[in-house]
Amino acid sequence: MSNQKNDIDVKEQQTEKNENASGGFDQVLEFCRKHIHHIAAAAVCIILFIVLIKYTGNQNETPVPTETEETEVILSEENVPEEYQKDAYPEINELITKYYKAYAAGDNDTLATFTDPISEAEKGYITAFSQYVEEYRNIACYTKKGLDENSYIVSAYMEVKLKEADTVAPGLERFYVTKKDGSYYIDNLYGQFNTRMKEYDVDENVITLLDEFNQQADVIKLRTEVEEKYKQAIESDENLKKIVDTQIPDTLTVWASDQVAAAKKAEEERLAAEEAAKKAAEEEAAKKAAEEKRAAELAAAVTVFALDKVNVRAEANETAEVIGQLEFGSQTTRLEEKDGWSRIDYSEGKQGYVRSDFLALEAPSAPPAAEESANEPAQAGNIAEGSVITAKESVILRESMGEDSKKIATVFAGEKVTVIMSYAEGWTKVDYDGKTGYIKTALLQ
């Protein structure tokens, strides 16, 4: 029955009809077994727990002997277990009665006030199962002492009235009851749902005590009596049998499948979150490493000065993207020099490359007048558009402004160029024999 709801162990083989009805459940259970390491433990335990309902018996309890079997309980004279006490503690009876009332109503909030812990998995199970329950009747509590004087093992007898059945179904559930803040409460760590869940840490001494309890003669006797009553109820009411053997298991199988899907999704989200966290950590580590590298480079860096207006490029070659410029005489930091190029830290951590021959360790006093380095802004920008100029000496036509810009052609002395635009930066854009490029303005004067 419910998350107990029966400590009865039914040994009869299921009918062919019930085997067919349980097909969906078996498939879900098999899925859980195969994927137990990849889905949440809660969903697996929920599926396994349906076995209790499907077969109306507690599969983890000590089997009840058949008529041909004998049960031998070996006890020392000093360790003879106490006998059950029926309804000996009114507070415990009241507690168990409140528990079943809230359980029948699917009221997890009320249950949480006197039983703890209740996992999200168990809450979902209670909600799904309780829709079939009208009430729990004729509750009786058989108690034995627990691990200490404030704890008890309780076998709670109840008769479950299902909403669509005329006959009540007897059941038996074991609780571990102890005192909390002066009042009794159900320690749900040792409830039948959570003992299968194994989601929480437990006191192994209590587990050992419960195992010994399950083997005691009067416990087995009570379980056997309730089992017999249950069999009689099922045999006397076909509608009850149908509800217990088919309707409830089928409903809970569908619900359990949803739990598996939700668990898989949660696992996928967990893995995605872990991957995101790992990536973030790697990025943070890379950022830190880059900062440490830059700090080390800056510590060993050299201050240099631009000998002309020169382009800063993304890579160490003359065709690389221009990402900035250094003005004549501007100061910058050289981090590395290799193959005629200097890697510089030119703007608040931004790095780029400049040809090393345009840099010096000392600041220049004035721009050079040579062909490849002349830069006289005072004369720049004063050549009219469309002017045709005859080269008095050989000059280099470049792809863009800058001494390190790619060479397009050489304009030899006596050849003509047509001015397209003269710029204040000291360069003039010209047309030469169908080619468009830049020449130092000072070389055209």
What's the confidence (pLDDT) of residue 11? 34
Half-sphere exposure of 44 (CA within 13 A, CB side): 18
**Largest distance between two CA atoms of the chain:** 128
391: left (phi over 0), alpha (psi -120 to 50) or beta: beta
The whole-number pLDDT of residue 125 equals 84
Question: Which residues of the chain are under the pLDDT cut of 70?
Answer: 1-81, 366-381, 445
Check if the beta carbon of residue 346 is closer than 8 Å to that of residue 332: yes
DSSP SS3 for 48: helix
Given this model, what pLDDT does residue 371 score?
40
Mind listing the pLDDT tens digit for each residue in 387-414? 888 887 888 899 888 777 888 988 888 8
Q: What does the pLDDT look like over 136-167, one tens digit per residue? A: 999 999 999 999 999 999 999 999 999 989 99
**H/E run at residue 10:** none
81 burial (CB, 10 Å; 0-12 / 13-18 / 19+) is middle
- C-alpha to C-alpha distance for 35 and 17, rounded to whole angstroms: 28
389 φ, ψ (degrees, to nearest 5): -120, 140
Beta strands in 181-278 (DSSP E): 183-187
Which phi and psi angles does 23 have, rounded to 5°? -55, -45
pLDDT (tens digit per residue) in 5-51: 443 333 333 333 333 333 333 444 444 444 433 333 333 333 333 33
Specify the pLDDT at position 133. Answer: 93
The pLDDT score that the predictor gives to residue 367 is: 60
Q: Are strands 341-347 and 302-306 parallel, antiparallel or unpaired?
A: unpaired
User: Token digits for 148?
Assistant: 């200490």
> CA neighbours within 13 Å on the CB side: how many for 394?
3
Structure-block tokens of residue 406: 């790619």
Residue-wise burial string across 253-273, b where 16 or more C-beta atoms lie within 10 A, e elsewhere: bebbbebbebbbeebeeeeee
Contact (CB, 8 A) for 398 and 390: no
The pLDDT > 90 percentage for the chain reads 39
